[in-house]
Structure 1
Amino acid sequence: MQKTILITGCSSGFGRSTAQLFARHGWNVVATMRDISAGADLARLPNVLVTPLDVQDPASAQAAIAAATDRFGTLDAVVNNAGFGLFGVFESTPPQKVREQFDVNVFGPMNVIRAALPQLRSQRAGVIVNVSSGAGVFTLPMVSLYCASKFALEGYSESLSYELAALGITVKIVEPGGVLDTGFSNRSGQEAGAQAEIADYRDFTRHTAAVFEQLRGQRLATSEDVARVIYQAVTDGSDQLRYLATEDIRSLVEARRNTSESDYITLMRQRYGFTGQR
């Protein structure tokens, strides 16, 4: 029997590449996005259902799950990929944008998972993959809210994995870093450009922007590379919790997890020059 996967955020980037990859491997794919006009090419693929899903709307999540089971009769895996990142100093970020960051990156996956769990429980089987980030493991300045949302997602996912294991449902976390071909950076730049500048941060933000420009030069992975890791997480049959998806963040992830707190903080301050006034 063909297996069925529902993926959020399929209009571009990881979501689109993941939908295409699973379709090539013969899965039934429910490719979801807020504006389904962006999914016309996906809808032409065999066994692909393009349906609307706004992760901020619990009723929308319920409707997408119902559409998946009505069309294909089962639901074997869910990939929570939809998300975005705020860039800028915390003080200049409007409170409504802070709430939106958590509504999309944290409460969004919760809405989708809550909608999917009755079906997965009835089967006593299923895989849930939450797409996190290197920013869910280590932190950098100017992305404090994005880091906060991804740290929250990782904590929720890890705890949830214990709750669902006895029901035959596996929870996994995929952690990508910088990728060449997504619209993620464009939206982050637009969000930052809409913020009012606070003069006291000007020197710091200019220095930090130069550091991030250097980091962008280290990006080698593509959305297809991340899709392959998501495919592995869904299909490998293991209970592995975390999957590192791109090599550019490996050194920072290992430093965060394998060194002492003081050594790690010293490394970050020296490596990125975040030492205060310049």
Structure 2
Amino acid sequence: MNRTVVITGTASGFGLDSVRLFASHGWNVVATVRKEKDLNVHDALPNVKTLLLDVNDEEADAAFAEQAVAQFGGVDVLVNNAGYYHMGPVEAGSMQQFHDQFQTNVFGLMALTKAFLPIFREQRSGVIINISSISADQGYPYTAVYAASKAAVAAFTEGLNVEMADFGVSAKAIFPGAHATRIFTKIDQAAGGVAAHYQDAMMRFFGNQGTGTSPAVTAQAIYEAATDQKIGKVRYYTGPDGVAIPRVKQLLGADWYWEEFRNAATGNPSDLWKSLVKQGDEPVEFAL
């Protein structure tokens, strides 16, 4: 019998490519979208059922697990991919934006995960895959609230991995570097005149970013996490920068790495930093 995966936030980016990848390997896929206009986005794919779900609605999250199980008679993997991206100086952001950031990336994710835990516990199997970010490994300027939400996802996933070990259930986190996804076209930016005071520094920081790698790279990592049967493995890094940055941090040590990163982020990268984080012809210092 084909295995079944539930993937949230599948209208574009990592979610869209993940649906295609799992379907190509013969999986049943329950794909969620937030808008009715996107309900037909997967119509050309076999064994894919597309359902409406706003992960911000915690009551809907709680009821969704049974609805997902009903589509194909069971669920083997949950991929919490739906996300929201707030950027800008902390001073210029509103508390509502900060709450929205955590509601989608953290509380919605937790609510949906909680709904599936009884199912996975009772069947004594299952994989929960949460999308974190390379920025969860440290605070990034002008995306500090986003990075904090993704750090919460990482810590939540690590704790859950241990909690569910006795039941044969694994929780894993994906740490993408810079990728060319539509999340960067759906940015909720900090507003207000105060943001103008940070404009030069923001341009300097984001100007060092490339367009990133294809989201298909992260989709492949998601598929690997779902199928490698490494129940104790939690962290999966993707993209050139997503892979390079943890290695650089390990090589330099946390304090020295932070000094080098901070200098680079403020526009004064050392020759050492340039040599460590450059791969090929594309700089990869500033992954989000």
Report how many aligned residue pairs link the two structures: 267
> Alignment partner of 1:30: what SS?
strand
d(CA) in 1 for partners of 2:131 and 2:183?
Answer: 13
Alpha-carbon shift at residue 117 of structure 1 (Å) = 1.0
Asked if 1:254 corresponds to 2:247, the answer is yes
Paired residues of 1:177 and 1:245 also in contact (CA < 8 A)? yes
Q: Provide structure 1 residue ranges, at least 5 long, that are not aligned to the other structure.
A: none
Alpha-carbon shift at residue 249 of structure 1 (Å) = 3.1
Asked if 1:227 corresponds to 2:227, the answer is no
Moved more, 234-243 or 58-67: 58-67
Structure 1 residue aligned with 2:202: 208
d(CA) in 2 for partners of 1:258 and 1:131?
Answer: 25
Alignment of 1:46-65 (within 5 A): 46-65=46-65
> Alignment partner of 2:167: what SS?
coil
Moved more, 84-93 or 264-273: 264-273
Alignment of 1:1-278 (within 5 A): 1-180=1-180, 182-188=181-187, 191-192=188-189, 195-198=191-194, 202=197, 204-217=198-211, 219=212, 221-239=213-231, 240-273=233-266
Paired residues of 1:4 and 1:76 also in contact (CA < 8 A)? yes
Q: Provide structure 2 residue ranges, at least 5 long, that are not aligned to the other structure.
A: 269-288
Alpha-carbon shift at residue 144 of structure 1 (Å) = 0.5
Q: TM-score, structure 1 length as denominator?
A: 0.91
d(CA) in 2 for partners of 1:145 and 1:274?
Answer: 22
Q: Give the share of equivalent positions with the same residue, in percent.
A: 34
Paired residues of 1:51 and 1:64 also in contact (CA < 8 A)? no
Moved more, 57-66 or 118-127: 57-66
Paired residues of 1:36 and 1:50 also in contact (CA < 8 A)? no
Residues 155-176 of structure 1 deviation map (CA, whole Å, 9 limit, x = unaligned): 1110111000111100111110
Output the aligned Cα RMSD. 1.7
d(CA) in 2 for partners of 1:260 and 1:197?
Answer: 39
d(CA) in 2 for partners of 1:154 and 1:257?
Answer: 18
